[in-house]
Amino acid sequence: MEARGQILVGDPDAGAARALTRALEGRGYRCETAMDAADFAARARATLPDILVIGPFERDGASGAIDLVRALKAEVETQALPIVLNGVEPGRIGKAALDLGVDDVLPADTPIDELDARLPRLVRAAVMQAELARRVETAAELGHRVDPAGFVRGYPLRPRVMTVSEDGTLLSDLQQMLLMAGFHAIPERSAFRAGERIDDERVDAAVIGLTQGGDVETAAALCADIRSNPRLFNLPTLVVGAGIDADGRHRLYRAGAGIVIGRAPTTAPNDPLTTYLQMLVNRQRQRWTLRDPFKATVAEATADSELRGIYSERFLRAHLARQIAALEARAEVLSLACLRIGNAGEVHDAHGQEARHVLMQQMADWLGGMTRIEDCVARFGADGFAITMPATPAEEADAVLQRIAGVLHQSDFHLTEEVMEAAHVWPHVAVGAAEPGEDADGFLARLAAACG
């Protein structure tokens, strides 16, 4: 069975380190343990795990852990690795840890269910970093060089946060807290309206406030709506409210919430909500910055010669081979999706080559818009596309592709000015996971045969 991710656990308390490691391995993660800060840093550099979980290396506070974080962030190899401080109160980490880029903080005695629910978003961040590194290597192999360090985005000092609550008093409290903490808070009482506004407005995160006994299902629906939108897939969502029970927390996390705080917010300066929110925003901005070097890897040497914005089949084969090689050292999963436009030939016969090209370009544009930036969309054959989806189980990839195929099939596509009627497409799809010992050509051949 593939691992859900690789985690390096550091804690000077050997018993605590082993207990956490056993618990995480029981949830499907591969773990290593280090009880010494220097050993922890060396292992992080050597193995580049998906997540670093750092315990309290000093018993009188978080400073020992912060010193270790500072050292890891100073190293080129480890500076982008997601970091979780374990056994530390959020209000005690201070601005220094936030500025360094700590991704999450867990107080002592946090249940393993809570940690397990919050790890997937950090694994996804690690997947993006690893995939970008591979994408850059493949581009260089084909003669196009990209330096991710050269891409820097300027962000407003005050992050934009959509605050959502049907309770006017709670919404006002959230607004006051976030404004005092330096956020630009945008209020919205309707969850339905919030979903539309989040899609239209550029926000860094969303905070959903629930009153005692509030409607968890409505909050979960908004989280799921955000998660299912490929443009908003990684948008951080924080849910806060008194009386959210274990079942409610489980539903919210399954729906896509990033962090759930089961108590009412306060206006105290060290309220965990603002600390957690700043961490979520920091990681979200890092993800947005990664989009630019990802896009820069699509260039003349790597792109399809006919369709803009996607990779060539030559790049696909070289990159898929690199992705498969990376799997040999890590018990992970790689899914490949193939989509063929079954009636592209009919469009050509009825309306000519230009109309067929316009249709295929629209397919390329739509696929780019409906997939994640870490998913590699490439030309595959005359009428088809392939999408590599790292660290994605086949059943999850299949659900995504079926949704994409459904949207394409139900949409109208306009061709050339000479063609008055709208065109419809008939997508043929297939999804599979890489099998042990299978090379890139064999993987592609297997999926092409399944796609028809």
pLDDT tens for each residue of 166-206: 999 999 999 999 998 899 999 999 988 998 898 888 899 99
Are 274 and 317 within one domain? no
Are 171 and 308 within one domain? no
Residue 139 forms part of a structural domain: no
Binned at pLDDT 50, 70 and 90, residue 362 comes out as very high
Q: Virtual CA dihedral for 248, 162, 275, 288, nearest 10 degrees?
A: 110
Point out the domain boundary residue: 249, 282, 315.
282
As a three-state string, the secondary structure of the chain is CCCCCEEEEECCCHHHHHHHHHHHHHCCCEEEEECCHHHHHHHHHHHCCCEEEECCCECCECHHHHHHHHHHHHCCCCCCCCEEEECCCHHHCHHHHHHHCCCEEECCCCCHHHHHHHHHHHHHHHHHHHHHHHHHHHHHHCCCCCCHHHCCCCCCCCCEEEEECCCHHHHHHHHHHHHHCCCEEEEECCHHHHHHHHHHCCCCEEEEEECCCCCHHHHHHHHHHHHHCCCCCCCCEEEEECCCCHHHHHHHHHHCCCEEECCCCCCCCCCHHHHHHHHHHHHHHHHHHHHHHHHHCCCCCCECCCCCCCECHHHHHHHHHHHHHHHCCCCCCEEEEEEEECCHHHHHHHHCHHHHHHHHHHHHHHHHHHCCCCCEEEECCCCEEEEEEECCCHHHHHHHHHHHHHHHHCCCECCCCCCCCCECCCEEEEEEECCCCCCHHHHHHHHHHHHC
Are 253 and 333 within one domain? no
Residue 152 forms part of a structural domain: no
Are 73 and 38 within one domain? yes
Arithmetic mean of pLDDT over the chain: 91
Residue 289 forms part of a structural domain: no
Are 249 and 341 within one domain? no
Which domain CATH number covers 31?
3.40.50.2300
Q: Virtual CA dihedral for 399, 403, 405, 408, nearest 10 degrees?
A: -170
Residue 295 forms part of a structural domain: no
Are 351 and 418 within one domain? yes
Q: Which of 20-34, 49-63, 156-170 has the lowest mean pLDDT?
A: 49-63
Q: What strands lie across the sheet with 427-433, from one edge to the other?
A: 376-379, 384-390, 334-341, 427-433
Residue 418 forms part of a structural domain: yes
**Which pTM value belongs to this model?**
0.88
Are 29 and 121 within one domain? yes
- Statement: residue 9 has pLDDT above 90: yes
Are 396 and 310 within one domain? yes
Residue 370 forms part of a structural domain: yes
Over residues 102-129, the mean pLDDT reads 91
Q: What is the pLDDT of residues 430-440, one digit of tens each?
A: 999 999 889 99
Are 203 and 83 within one domain? no
Which domain CATH number covers 394?
3.30.70.270
Residue 396 forms part of a structural domain: yes
- Statement: residue 1 has pLDDT above 90: no
Binned at pLDDT 50, 70 and 90, residue 88 comes out as confident
The total of structural domains in the chain comes to 3
Are 278 and 165 within one domain? yes
Residue 136 forms part of a structural domain: no
More confident residue, 183 or 91: 183
For the four alpha carbons of 363, 433, 381 and 352, in that order, the dihedral sign comes to negative
Are 206 and 125 within one domain? no
More confident residue, 367 or 269: 367
Q: Which of 50-64, 106-120, 212-226 has the lowest mean pLDDT?
A: 50-64
Are 255 and 371 within one domain? no
The range of the structural domain enclosing residue 173 comes to: 160-282
pLDDT in the model for residue 331: 67
Point out the domain boundary residue: 112, 130, 148.
130
